[in-house]
């Protein structure tokens, strides 16, 4: 392992650098994490978006199978070292490295703590010393024909029983050796895989930490930039104060003015409708009068002709037609309503443009607000810049500049790991090859035992003379002797390796891995004062536990003890000044008179003129016209014509009847439809509300009183509400920033994840596989002792002897004559 010492030292430095970076990160990190974002106040603010959650690499460490013997090895190590973690000893050695040499009490404490290890080391040294000595003397004795070296085997009745006992004893021992040898191969492979995957796992861990570190300034900048957005939004609202505050003031006025404005709209609609009806009625009335006069002229001409016929002497009984003659008339005295007065009144109302007066007042508000607040807006913008500067300085209290140095350190560690990666892989491969060789040498002993156990019984005949044993049986015995010889040759060397790895892996487990798993190591770091720069109110154990729960750095590091975040984000002094400046600013709106006396008179005239229209007479005249029916007279004339003897008179009467029917048809097709279309318009004009003007005057009066009394109060109230709304944007931002920093900032699970990854790589993979290897190797070395004993003793039952006893299994027993009784 000598050639790989340099790379392993470099790997140790890289790993120490990574652990140091993790500790520094746990002290300096403060990041943002996403959380529920509060709604923007007043409905006109843009709430900050959720923070971006960085993506981390998962599955940093894979299961290498190194823990298959962990329970057994840990049970052994806990038996060897049952003492608690030596806080005082490590603390004294940490403060002064020479104290172990200079202070006898420190040496005593160290020896007491390592008592179990020292006992195991003494046993191992005894094994290392005695195994080659015993092997040497045994070899010498066998060469001299002693200690079983003499090729002679005494044959007794228990020979087969002893052989079977030795056989099964060696068989069980060989099975145990096989199990230990398999564990050696498996743990060696697990160590190799642990180192390979451990490198990749550490690289991924550093990548996660760098992602975490890189994301910290970005997320913190997002929080600070959110303040810039708030300042810009408020600035933009102030730049548009005319439209925004002006619209609020307009809305405050529109409510009280709504009844008056609605009445104005209705009055204007009525005026326009009246105007349209008047225009339509004038046209219809003129056309109707022309049609009626034309019909009257036609009827008059027919009546004159009929009068001449009646006066003729040849006309029989024509005097009876005088009543019909009187019916032949059309009343053309159609009285047209006096629409000229109402027409003039309507024109005056339309020209007054009542709604435009209120609209002009409301429309002028935004520009007046802009003009009157111009000076205070400039001062307020300067205050907003001060707020922006104060919030941007909050980042200075979190020492974010240290993150750059930490990222640089991690880069250096990563580069160093990449540089030594090839050497580590090479050293790991050499170590793997050495361990495979050792495992194969142990396997060689096992194979020799197996061959001896197979060939010996296979070639042995219990009836055969020991001098005439088969070659197969003799080979079995030789293999057993070879296994014992190999065991003497290198078992003591392997025990040296077992002791070295035992001291390394055992102490790593008892001093690092075990106290880390039960929390004693973190407790020692917290109470030892080894990290003097750590604040008193912060412990590494608390940091680790909080980070495992993905807690924010604010609570994990108790930053409230060193940073007064409320004071850092307190912008109330600026907002109070802004509010005071706006309170001292007057927004003077123009004086407005919604309804002048002249317009009031015009409205009254319009209402009065509308009442003066005589709709009844006109309606009655139109009804009378529609009742005219000339066809009845025509029927009467036809009846008189039948009794006339004078054909000329008869023909004239028939002609007059025909003319009357034609006139009636003309009236039904021309006059009557005009009357039908004229009457609805007349009824519409008649149905117009006469009290609209009076209602308008009342409502406009109330609106005028409201404006005279409340204009200034409304402007002040809406200005205060608008400004409070803008200030609430800052309050909302401060609340959001406080929530982010104190509840969601720096969720440090990547930090605890990095520590857990290093602990898993070192303890769960590397140390476990290392301990499993030396434990398996030591296991085999211990069982080499009974293997040697059983192999040497059993080999003599299979090897070919040079001389043997003459032992006859068939003993001839002479029959003893039965005693006979003498007769007396």
DSSP-derived secondary structure for 311-356? HSTTSTTGGGGHHHHHH------------HHHHHHHHHHHHH-HHH
Q: How far is CA 420 from the centre of its chain?
A: 39
The dihedral through the CA atoms of 709, 710, 712, 713 has a sign that is positive
In a domain, 337, yes or no: yes
Q: Is 223 left (phi over 0), alpha (psi -120 to 50) or beta?
A: alpha
Number of structural domains, the chain? 1
Domain annotation covers residue 239: no
Cα separation of 328 and 296, whole Å? Answer: 9
For residue 26, count other CB atoms closer than 10 A to its CB. Answer: 24
Q: Going by C-beta distance under 8 Å and a sequence separation of 6 or more, which residues neighbour residue 709? A: none
pLDDT attached to residue 782: 94
Q: Is residue 708 part of a domain?
A: yes
pLDDT for the residue numbered 124: 93
Alpha-carbon gap, residue 779 to 427, rounded angstroms: 26
- What was the pLDDT predicted at 137? 87
Alpha-carbon distance of 49 to 350, in angstroms, equals: 54
Residue 367 inside a domain? The answer is yes
Asked whether residue 265 is assigned to any structural domain, the reply reads yes
Buried b (16+ CB within 10 A) or exposed e, 709-744: eebeebbeebbeebbebbbbbbebbbebbeebbbeb
State the sign of the Cα–Cα–Cα–Cα dihedral 533, 536, 542, 543: negative
Residue 258 maps to a domain: yes
Check: CB of residue 758 under 8 Å from CB of residue 18: yes
Residues in Cβ contact with 643 at an 8 Å cutoff, skipping those fewer than 6 apart: 316, 317
DSSP states of 516-549: HHHTHHHHHHHHH---TTS-TT--HHHHHHHHHT
* Residue 274 resides in a domain: yes
Mean pLDDT by 10 residues, the chain (824 residues): 37 39 38 36 57 69 72 92 84 68 74 89 94 88 66 65 90 95 92 85 85 78 80 81 77 69 61 66 73 78 79 76 71 56 58 62 74 79 80 72 78 86 88 94 95 87 69 87 92 94 93 89 79 73 85 80 78 77 68 58 60 64 72 79 77 82 81 73 61 58 67 77 80 82 79 87 89 94 94 83 54 46 42
Burial grade of 576 (CB within 10 A; 0-12, 13-18, 19 or more)? exposed
Cα 586 to Cα 624: distance, rounded to the nearest angstrom: 71
Domain of 263 in residue numbering reads as 246-373+604-725
The two three-digit tokens of residue 824, written as one number: 């007396």
**Residue 442: Cβ within 10 Å count:** 27
301 within some domain: yes
Q: Which residues pair with 804 in a beta bridge?
A: 153
């Amino acid at each position: 392992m000598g050639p790989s010492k340099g790379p392993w030292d470099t790997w140790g430095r890289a790993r120490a650098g990574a652990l140091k970076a993790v500790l520094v990160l746990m002290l300096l990190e403060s990041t943002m994490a996403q959380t529920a974002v509060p709604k923007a106040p007043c409905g006109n603010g843009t709430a900050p978006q959720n923070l971006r959650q960085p993506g981390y690499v998962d599955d940093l460490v894979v299961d290498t199978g190194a823990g298959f013997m962990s329970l057994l090895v840990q049970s052994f190590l806990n038996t060897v070292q049952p003492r608690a973690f030596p806080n005082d000893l490590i603390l004294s050695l940490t403060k002064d490295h020479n104290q172990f040499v200079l202070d006898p009490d420190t040496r005593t404490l160290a020896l007491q703590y390592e008592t179990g290890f020292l006992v195991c080391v003494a046993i191992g040294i005894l094994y290392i010393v005695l195994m080659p000595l015993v092997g040497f003397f045994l070899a010498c004795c066998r060469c001299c024909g002693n200690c079983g070296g003499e090729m002679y085997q005494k044959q007794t009745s228990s020979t087969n029983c002893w052989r079977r006992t030795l056989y099964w004893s060696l068989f069980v021992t060989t099975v145990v050796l096989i199990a230990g040898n398999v564990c050696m191969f498996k743990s060696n492979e697990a160590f190799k895989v642990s180192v390979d995957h451990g490198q990749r796992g550490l690289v991924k861990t550093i990548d996660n930490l760098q992602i975490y570190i890189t994301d910290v300034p970005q997320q913190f900048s997002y929080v600070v930039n959110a303040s810039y957005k708030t300042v810009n939004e408020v600035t933009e609202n102030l730049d548009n104060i005319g439209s925004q505050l002006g619209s609020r003031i307009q809305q405050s006025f529109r409510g009280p003015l709504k009844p008056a404005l609605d009445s104005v709209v209705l009055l204007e609609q009525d005026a326009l409708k009246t105007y349209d009806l008047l225009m339509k009625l004038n046209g219809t009335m003129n056309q109707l009068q022309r049609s009626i006069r034309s019909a009257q002229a036609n009827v008059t001409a027919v009546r004159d002709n009929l009068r001449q016929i009646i006066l003729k002497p040849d006309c029989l009984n024509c005097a009876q037609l005088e009543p019909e003659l009187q019916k032949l008339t059309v009343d053309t005295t159609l009285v047209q309503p006096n629409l000229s007065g109402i027409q003039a009144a309507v024109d005056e109302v339309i020209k007054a443009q009542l709604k435009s007066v209120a609209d002009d007042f409301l429309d002028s508000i935004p520009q007046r607000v802009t003009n009157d607040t111009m000076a205070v807006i400039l001062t307020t913008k300067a205050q907003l810049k001060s707020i922006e500067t104060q919030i941007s300085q909050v980042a200075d209290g979190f020492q974010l500049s240290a993150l750059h140095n930490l990222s640089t350190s991690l880069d250096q560690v990563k580069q160093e790991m990449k540089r030594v990666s090839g050497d580590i892989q090479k050293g790991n491969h050499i170590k793997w090859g050495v361990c495979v060789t050792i495992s194969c040498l142990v396997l060689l002993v096992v194979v020799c035992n197996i061959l001896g156990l197979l060939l010996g019984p296979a070639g042995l005949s219990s009836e055969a003379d020991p001098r005439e044993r088969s070659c197969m049986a003799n080979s079995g015995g030789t293999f057993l002797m070879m296994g014992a010889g190999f065991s003497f040759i290198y078992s003591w060397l392997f025990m040296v390796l077992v002791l070295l790895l035992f001291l390394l892996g055992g102490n790593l487990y008892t001093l690092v891995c075990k106290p880390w798993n039960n929390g004693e190591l973190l407790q020692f770091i917290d109470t030892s004062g080894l990290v003097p720069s750590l604040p008193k109110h912060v412990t590494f154990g608390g940091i680790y536990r909080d980070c495992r729960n993905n807690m924010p750095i604010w609570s994990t590091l108790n930053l409230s003890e060193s940073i007064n975040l409320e004071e850092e984000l307190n912008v109330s002094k600026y907002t109070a000044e802004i509010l005071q400046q706006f309170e001292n600013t007057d927004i003077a709106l123009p004086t407005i008179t919604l309804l002048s006396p002249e317009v009031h008179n015009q409205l009254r005239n319009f209402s009065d003129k509308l009442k003066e229209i005589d709709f009844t007479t006109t309606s009655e005249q139109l009804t009378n016209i529609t009742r005219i029916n000339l066809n009845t007279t025509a029927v009467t004339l036809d009846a008189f014509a039948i009794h006339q003897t004078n054909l000329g008179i008869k023909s004239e009467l028939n002609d007059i009847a025909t003319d009357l029917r034609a006139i009636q048809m003309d009236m039904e097709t021309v006059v009557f439809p005009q009357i039908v279309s004229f009457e609805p318009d007349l009824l519409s004009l008649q149905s117009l509300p006469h009290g609209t003007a009076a209602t308008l005057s009342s409502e406009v009066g109330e609106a005028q009183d409201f404006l005279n009394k409340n204009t200034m109060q409304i402007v002040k109230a809406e200005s205060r509400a608008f400004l409070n709304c803008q200030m609430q944007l800052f309050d909302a931002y401060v609340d959001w920033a406080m929530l982010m920093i104190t509840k969601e900032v720096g969720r440090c699970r990547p930090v605890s994840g990095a520590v857990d990854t290093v602990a898993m790589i070192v303890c769960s993979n590397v140390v476990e596989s290392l301990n499993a290897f030396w434990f398996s190797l030591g296991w085999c070395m211990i069982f080499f002792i009974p293997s040697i004993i059983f192999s040497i003793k059993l080999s003599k039952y299979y090897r070919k002897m040079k001389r043997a006893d003459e032992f006859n299994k068939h003993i001839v027993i002479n029959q003893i004559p039965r005693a006979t009784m003498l007769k007396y």
